[in-house]
């Protein structure tokens, strides 16, 4: 039945004309993919970093619109997708911007690029993001960063998957249609290594200037991007419970989208705790609520492969592989058996080799007596 409701919601979206709702992709591993929602984090680690993530939401959520009658009766045959839950794949690369002051390097910012492909039912959203951040280090060692991003967003709707009550309705597209537009985002990020074993927090907003996308030649189907607000924070506690092998990292994310009347829709809150053992294995739990109800509980696992040159004290590389399984707690669980997410982070650092000093020789001095003044 839940699948039928999704179809009816999609039909209601088409008839309503304009929609504003939660539109950005959602990730369980938000702590390890800060760049996906806050451009101010670019270069914050001081390393060159590659991130990749794959999120497969609500597996088993099937499209059953072929069971609904139209004016012409039941469709004879439908090549409908078996799983219409959100599928998101993304990758990002970031690099620090540093200047050398004496023998020290000062991190003054960073740059990044990010690609994400998000498919929900018969709608594709392709995000191509790029941006930069500026940083300022305070006297106590804490760091404040400001970031700006530019996003090329392409929204496409596959009309072949839609089933109208009236098959001859000209307002419902029957082919693939979409548009590409530019949106802007900004963020603030703060970190302080002197409180506990490090704290961090940030606030960011995407789609600051909402853009309206039109589907179909009739122009009656419109979707307007909503401003998305993200507030996040976390801490690191080494030698947790006086055990030198344990590190505990609590974190939270509060996010919401701005509705058509200017107010925010029901907020979504993630509360997360990760325990790392001997800098090798990690396990944790994430609880997600939507409004005043529970949405999901997630089991999270992490692994830091001890490859040569990485994940060891003083190493210039770090590699992390993470996996999570979301147990759906909302009514969607009647039609879905959970959500999988896999992510990989790889960070490295290098310095350009020091240019050797140039030695100039002259024929008169090539055989110079070393005892000469």
Which pair of structure tokens corresponds to residue 68? 């609904």
Q: What percent of the chain has pLDDT over 90?
A: 45
Q: What percent of the chain has pLDDT over 70?
A: 78
Handedness of CA 68, 72, 77, 83 (dihedral sign): negative
Residue 22 has pLDDT above 60, yes or no: no
Which of the two residues, 83 and 222, has the higher pLDDT score?
222
> How confident is the model over 330-354, as a mean pLDDT?
81
User: What is the per-residue pLDDT for 369?
Assistant: 59
Which of the two residues, 355 and 116, has the higher pLDDT score?
116
> How confident is the model over 178-199, as a mean pLDDT?
93
Which pair of structure tokens corresponds to residue 363? 């024929």
User: What is the per-residue pLDDT for 17?
Assistant: 36
177 in helix, strand or coil?
A: strand
Residue 338 has pLDDT above 60, yes or no: yes
Handedness of CA 197, 350, 34, 29 (dihedral sign): negative
Between the alpha carbon of residue 229 and those of residues 116, 124, 160, 237, 331, the distances in Å are: 19, 22, 33, 27, 25
Instruction: Tell me which residue of 50, 13, 87, 22 sits closest to 255, measured CA to CA.
Output: 22
Residue 19 has pLDDT above 60, yes or no: no
* pLDDT, tens only, 127-159: 999 999 999 999 888 999 999 999 999 998 887
Q: Alpha-carbon distance 231 to 237, whole Å?
A: 21
Where do the domains of the chain lie?
A: 2-350
Residue 370 has pLDDT above 70, yes or no: no
Residue 189 has pLDDT above 90, yes or no: yes
2-350 belongs to which CATH class?
mainly beta
Helix or strand holding residue 307 (H, E): none
Q: What is the DSSP string of 152-176?
A: EEEEEEEGGG---SSTT-TTS-SSE
Residue with the two structure tokens 């040569």: 308
* pLDDT, tens only, 259-314: 666 677 888 999 999 999 988 999 999 999 988 788 889 999 999 988 776 767 66
Q: Alpha-carbon distance 238 to 272, whole Å?
A: 17
* The Cα angle at residue 288 between residues 28 and 237, in degrees rounded to 5: 65
Strand partners of residue 150: 130, 184
For the entire predicted model, the pTM comes to 0.82
User: What is the per-residue pLDDT for 2?
Assistant: 37
User: What is the per-residue pLDDT for 359?
Assistant: 66
* pLDDT, tens only, 36-93: 999 999 999 889 999 999 998 887 777 766 666 555 555 544 556 567 778 899 999 9
Handedness of CA 168, 172, 173, 174 (dihedral sign): negative
Are β-strands 268-277 and 293-303 bridged in parallel, bridged antiparallel, or unpaired? unpaired
């Amino acid at each position: 039945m839940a699948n039928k409701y999704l179809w009816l919601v999609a039909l209601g979206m088409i008839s309503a004309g304009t929609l504003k709702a939660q539109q950005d992709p959602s990730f369980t591993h938000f702590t390890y993919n800060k760049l996906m929602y806050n451009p101010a984090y670019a270069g914050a680690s001081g390393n060159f970093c590659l991130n990749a993530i794959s999120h497969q939401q609500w597996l088993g959520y099937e499209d059953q619109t072929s069971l609904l009658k139209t004016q012409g009766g039941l469709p004879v045959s439908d090549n409908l997708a078996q799983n219409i839950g959100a599928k998101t794949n993304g990758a990002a690369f970031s690099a620090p911007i540093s200047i050398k002051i004496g023998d020290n390097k000062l991190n003054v910012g960073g740059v990044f690029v990010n690609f994400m492909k998000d498919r929900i039912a018969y709608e594709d959203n392709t995000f191509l993001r790029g941006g930069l951040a500026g940083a300022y280090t305070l006297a106590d060692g804490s760091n404040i960063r400001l970031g700006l991003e530019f996003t090329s967003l392409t929204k496409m709707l596959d009309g072949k998957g839609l089933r109208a009550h009236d098959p001859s309705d000209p307002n419902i597209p029957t082919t693939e249609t979409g548009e590409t537009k530019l949106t802007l985002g900004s963020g603030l990020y703060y970190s302080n290594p002197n409180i506990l074993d490090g704290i961090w927090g940030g606030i960011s907003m995407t789609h600051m200037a909402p853009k309206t996308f039109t589907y179909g030649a009739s122009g009656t189907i419109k979707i307007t991007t909503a401003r998305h607000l993200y507030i996040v924070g976390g801490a690191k506690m080494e030698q947790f419970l006086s055990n030198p092998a344990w590190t505990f990292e609590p974190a939270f994310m509060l996010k919401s989208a701005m509705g058509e009347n200017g107010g925010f829709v029901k907020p979504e809150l993630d509360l997360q705790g990760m325990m790392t053992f001997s800098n090798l294995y990690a396990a944790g739990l994430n609880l997600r609520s939507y409004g005043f109800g529970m949405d999901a509980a997630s089991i999270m696992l992490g692994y830091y492969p001890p490859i040569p040159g990485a994940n060891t004290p003083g190493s210039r590389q770090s590699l992390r592989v993470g996996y999570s399984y979301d147990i759906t707690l909302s009514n969607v669980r009647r039609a879905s058996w959970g959500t999988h997410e896999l992510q990989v982070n790889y960070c490295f650092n290098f310095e350009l080799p020091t240019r050797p000093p140039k030695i100039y020789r002259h024929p008169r001095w090539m055989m110079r007596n070393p005892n000469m003044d």
